[in-house]
Amino acid sequence: MRIAEAVAGRAGRPALEGLAQAHRSFARDRPGRWQALQRRAGPAVVGSDAARTVVALTDALLRAWPTAPAAAP
């Protein structure tokens, strides 16, 4: 997985830069798929193993950065 490889062994800013580079390279290499990702995903996609992996990696990376708590809907 592109994101996992980009952040492996990194922390802080280098990990965030790796994540950003992974997204940029995916968008450049697969523009049609990137465009398809820019809309609301259906339940099957949201519940997929791949989606859970991306969310877990991104969440772990972002825990190192100070952020305001999310507002409850």
Question: Does 68 or 22 have the greater pLDDT score?
Answer: 22
pTM reported for the whole predicted model: 0.73
Confidence class for position 72, pLDDT limits 50, 70, 90 = low
Question: Does 14 or 68 have the greater pLDDT score?
Answer: 14
Confidence class for position 5, pLDDT limits 50, 70, 90 = very high
Residue 58 backbone zone (phi > 0: left; psi -120 to 50: alpha; other: beta): alpha
**Contact present, 64 and 11 (Cβ < 8 Å):** yes
Q: State the virtual CA torsion across 53, 58, 60, 66 in degrees, nearest 10.
A: -160
